[in-house]
Structure 1
């Protein structure tokens, strides 16, 4: 793995047409050297696009048993372009951003932001909310503009004083789980006012503007209930679609199904990555702001005679029925289970005794990266970096994240980050 800054940037020119002026320059320059031609292309950065690799780090991963306890120092250099520490909370008043874990602030936050010493170009964010986040405090936050503006000011102080680069919002979900129906519009208002506060802060201080991103559900029903997609996109820097958990043991299903299939089937058209991505673009969201979610964990079922009877067994380390981290999945494969593939959906699964596991591997992740590139999306989001095989239990360190990074490079011919000259 190289530490070269340019490796983080993959340029693709096919998405946007080159201007007539630049086209004329290219046409007339047959006698230019390859180096001169490369420099001219690099200069034309208005037509360049950077593929983002937005990763989450779960704060509770450090409490797992050895050898898979994951601390900030375990993050591989240059694997991600953005890294979000999950999760912070909103306080009961709805006006303050606070740590969800007393042990995180300031000790773990400082260890987290120290990653910039190894990777100066890495953008570090705090993610607020998550599934266990209290929807009531978000409802309190968005109830008035005064609350939102107070929260925004406090969030700026929180982020600046701890050396973070931005805020990631993961409210699950506006207008649901006890949240008022009007919180759909109020959520948009919250994002708008926070973005305005971040703009004002940057103008006042001369510092880079704090980033504002959000993790959002891809489900059409959830979208209609919780979001105003085009309006949100106008204020957010990036939108991470949670294109996973589209199936699971919580459903009343007799047959197991993969939770993050790339493509659908004639009988299951909606619950797949491609449908979700296309659906969001049709809502007026720019493709280059959309990141497609990649799960580094599998969803599992217990079978009896081929029929689902409940969630799969809990893993030795993650200890949640129905879920296995990739480092637990790869160990099952290493111990003799045979991986199989659902060819039409471009994803793998395995059956071990009465356990069915749908997961992602290097091949399926490469297929998803190819989909991102072919369709002009902004990149990928990973939940979660700490669930990759970072300790080389099954052979090599970070096999999934390296597969994602290398796929972007290989498929665009950009090992150095510069346009291919053929």
Structure 2
């Protein structure tokens, strides 16, 4: 497919997403694949509640992604490429079967090129080998496309990432596969306007990593983990670099971020802290980040004595208990706020990371999928 035809197809995709925006809510991407909480080769999740694709209520989602450490593509000696996967083949097959429903869901894979077993190819031969292996892998599992990300674009990696995306264009167009790259905001300044235009011409949409990172001051004081104001700043920064809002898909992390208070009696925003509230194995990488569903369950435990407050500006809840634990987290109300922001600002959709971090069993007393169902509320009514 030549460039003019590809751009025409892209414009048709964008117009389809945006058509009747006031009446048709942005699409919802549901992601899964954390080997800590779902679908690993061992079959046992840390939470004791393994997620399976049949657990997903398909009415919430337009796209279904296998995410995080699910796929590792390995460059062997001589430039050949093999892969290993931490998501079972039958898990993938169950996910693919979801698109047979009435909603016509797209089912895709996700590759993080920062993983040590993946890495950005450093020669044209390795790029060619990786592209061929990716296409073969997607076709063999009947997947609809690929989301791809690289947060580390230093030391020449930016040009290699762009070269890889360009190499994917022709085979993806030929096979009718979707391509959705992630561009972290801190690396947008790495690319020229022309290079960004090239990336947008290659992509069906751009994943906007608004993340759950606190600002630098929150290493020492409490702070909200992902307010809408931060998402707004990120969207404006992308827009200033020429990325159309109609192509932006912010990532919404279904997490809580915990900390230990220096003074249990000072628990408001900006209170002094001295480390993560939950360490390994009770949080991801021991950094205090927990599934939002874990916080919803903890709120039910009266013996933990949580005092919950809500920031008016962001509509994000935060809570502290008498043991000196503090957490900023997502709840159904904050998820509705993010969905409203995405729709009112004309963005393509939202990527929910990850569905198994919602309460998909309904053990917190708020029903199954309290966060995702709140986010997708308007979509279900349409």
TM-score (norm 1): 0.74
- Pair 1:110–1:259, CA change in 2 (3 A): same
Quote the residue 2:9 is aligned against: none
Quote the residue 1:98 is aligned against: 83
Count of residue pairs brought into register by the alignment: 342
Matching of residue 171 in structure 1 with residue 150 in structure 2: yes
SS across alignment from 1:216: coil
Matching of residue 295 in structure 1 with residue 253 in structure 2: yes
Distance 1:286 1:10 in 2: 13
- Pair 1:357–1:212, CA change in 2 (3 A): same
Deviation at 1:95, TM superposition (A): 5.4
Deviation at 1:247, TM superposition (A): 0.8
SS across alignment from 2:119: helix
Unmatched runs of 5 consecutive residues or more in structure 2:
1-15, 39-43, 267-271
Deviation at 1:174, TM superposition (A): 2.3
Residue of 348, 363, 376 corresponding to 2:333: 363
Question: What is the alpha-carbon root mean square deviation over aligned residues?
Answer: 2.7
**Map 1:220-239 → 2, pairs under 5 A:** 222-225=187-190, 228-239=195-206
**Map 1:9-408 → 2, pairs under 5 A:** 13=20, 51-60=26-35, 61-62=37-38, 63-65=44-46, 67-86=48-67, 87-93=70-76, 96=81, 98-101=83-86, 104-118=87-101, 121-129=104-112, 133-134=115-116, 137-139=118-120, 141=121, 143-175=122-154, 181-200=155-174, 202=175, 209-219=176-186, 222-225=187-190, 228-247=195-214, 253-263=219-229, 272-305=230-263, 306=266, 307-314=272-279, 320-336=286-302, 337-353=306-322, 354-395=324-365, 396-408=367-379
Quote the residue 2:10 is aligned against: none
- Pair 1:299–1:216, CA change in 2 (3 A): farther
SS across alignment from 1:169: strand
Unmatched runs of 5 consecutive residues or more in structure 1:
1-8, 16-47, 176-180, 203-208, 264-271, 410-414, 417-422
- Pair 1:12–1:315, CA change in 2 (3 A): farther
TM-score (norm 2): 0.81
Q: Is the 8 A contact 1:188 1:232 kept in 2?
A: yes
After superposition, the C-alpha distances for 1:295-338 in whole angstroms (9 at most, x for unaligned) are 11111111111421101124886564401212211022222423
